[in-house]
Chain A
């Protein structure tokens, strides 16, 4: 298995220590890592799921807008950040592997490494509790 880029390795190591839920995806949108805080919201453990391909990601974690309408993956903040190479923010509902629907806010930004290498994106999200 090829070694991850250094910026991605450092991002994971930072994410492991943060209480904020974090997703890290590669330039194809494949989920490389999510931290322990994200496990609570997603209802699954990274140690069990491991990396998840972009196709499977959309099937496993269903997302809807505040009206309950399914959100196209291209409209998700993470994918918008990937495509535009700009930060993106949004509010949505997500159904995790435990079947529970949660209201979350997401801020995503691209990982642009040394020498302008595009290496994927990071999404930071948190549950919105009323």
Chain B
């Protein structure tokens, strides 16, 4: 699997000279499978650039949304294949207890928040609600499960030819835990991440910041690293960086955490444009 990070910032797009290395676009990752099918994870502002890289001849697009917060859907209307007639676009994402995925997404894809309504989108849109067990998408086997984050949110595990990538961009598994982790069976996201080749995980805060932001739905880097150790992943990408964190701060945060916790897995800083080969 070829994993490309198109947007790694959390909460708000943060362009500027201080974020050139890690990037300012919000969450979007693509995974190209063994038969060249491409899955798109989240539709943050990073999805615009992904759309420019996809060939005009593409006829099917598969988008997996973790949840519908703005930083994960804001780029969708700017994703070129959505505006192309004859392209079949499948979108998976969580419903709420009272409203379906399509209706929830339309709250954003309609005036006054956005000038174009979904009826004017030229591609052939299909919505699929989660959680719904395992999904087969060509060569991929995708598992979606609810995870801890405000409003219904899922994480994904994507498997292809015996290798696995888990994507948990917004995740606060330590919420309410008096010590973290308290055990495999009581840890949000454990089943999705256990033993995977690559884990892309929320690492938004420093430990000090987390103390004042408990319940916001995000992890500090230390909790994320402990989650990676609990789940025994092979490679780890810190992701969903806080908008206030500059390149310099992120380098220091990650280096300090690696020095302190000595993780058993490889740490790949979540920088926009990074390409990771899994199972190569």
Of A7, A14, A115, the most chain B CB neighbours within 10 A belong to: A115
Instruction: Check if B185 sits within 8 Å of A10, measured CB to CB.
Output: no
Tell me the minimal C-beta distance from B135 to chain A in angstroms.
14
Instruction: Check if B131 sits within 8 Å of A115, measured CB to CB.
Output: yes
**Chain A binder among B45-53, B186-194, B265-273:** B186-194
Known: A2-B185, A114-B131. A10 touches B191 (CB 8 A): no
Decide if B184 is an interface residue (CB 8 Å cutoff).
Answer: yes
Instruction: Please give, as numbers and ranges, the residues of chain A lying within 8 Å of B131 by CB-CB distance.
Output: 114-115
Q: Closest A residue to B97 by CB, please name it.
A: A114
Instruction: Check if A9 sits within 8 Å of B178, measured CB to CB.
Output: no
**Chain A interface bracket (under 10, 10 to 19, 20 to 34, 35 or more):** 10 to 19
Known: A3-B191, A114-B131. A13 touches B184 (CB 8 A): no
Instruction: Check if B185 sits within 8 Å of A6, measured CB to CB.
Output: no
Give the interface SS of chain A, mostly helix, strand, loop or mixed.
helix
Decide if A5 is an interface residue (CB 8 Å cutoff).
Answer: yes
Tell me the minimal C-beta distance from B43 to chain A in angstroms.
21
Decide if B148 is an interface residue (CB 8 Å cutoff).
Answer: yes
How far apart are the CA atoms of A51 and B22 in the complex, in Å?
A: 45
Instruction: Check if B94 sits within 8 Å of A114, measured CB to CB.
Output: yes
Instruction: Please give, as numbers and ranges, the residues of chain B lying within 8 Å of A14 by CB-CB distance.
Output: 176
Q: Closest A residue to B95 by CB, please name it.
A: A115
Instruction: Please give, as numbers and ranges, the residues of chain A lying within 8 Å of B132 by CB-CB distance.
Output: 115
Q: How many A-B residue pairs have CB under 8 A?
A: 48
Instruction: Check if B146 sits within 8 Å of A5, measured CB to CB.
Output: yes
Instruction: Please give, as numbers and ranges, the residues of chain A lying within 8 Å of B147 by CB-CB distance.
Output: 6
Give the interface SS of chain B, mostly helix, strand, loop or mixed.
loop
Q: What mask results when residues 127 to 144 of chain B are scored 1 for a CB within 8 Å of chain A, else 0?
A: 001011000000000000
Tell me the minimal C-beta distance from B178 to chain A in angstroms.
6
Decide if A16 is an interface residue (CB 8 Å cutoff).
Answer: yes
How far apart are the CA atoms of A5 and B94 in the complex, in Å?
A: 15
How far apart are the CA atoms of A65 and B156 in the complex, in Å?
A: 48
Q: Closest A residue to B96 by CB, please name it.
A: A114
Decide if A12 is an interface residue (CB 8 Å cutoff).
Answer: yes
Decide if B105 is an interface residue (CB 8 Å cutoff).
Answer: no
Instruction: Please give, as numbers and ranges, the residues of chain A lying within 8 Å of B258 by CB-CB distance.
Output: none
Instruction: Check if B97 sits within 8 Å of A16, measured CB to CB.
Output: no
Contact of A16 among B148, B152, B178, B191 (CB under 8 A): B178
Q: Which residues of A pack against B, CB within 8 Å?
A: 1-7, 9-10, 12-14, 16-17, 113-115
29 contacts between A and B (CB under 8 A): A1-B184, A1-B185, A3-B185, A3-B188, A3-B190, A4-B185, A4-B186, A5-B146, A6-B145, A6-B146, A6-B147, A6-B148, A7-B146, A9-B186, A9-B187, A9-B188, A10-B148, A10-B175, A12-B186, A13-B175, A13-B176, A16-B178, A114-B94, A114-B97, A114-B131, A114-B152, A115-B95, A115-B129, A115-B132
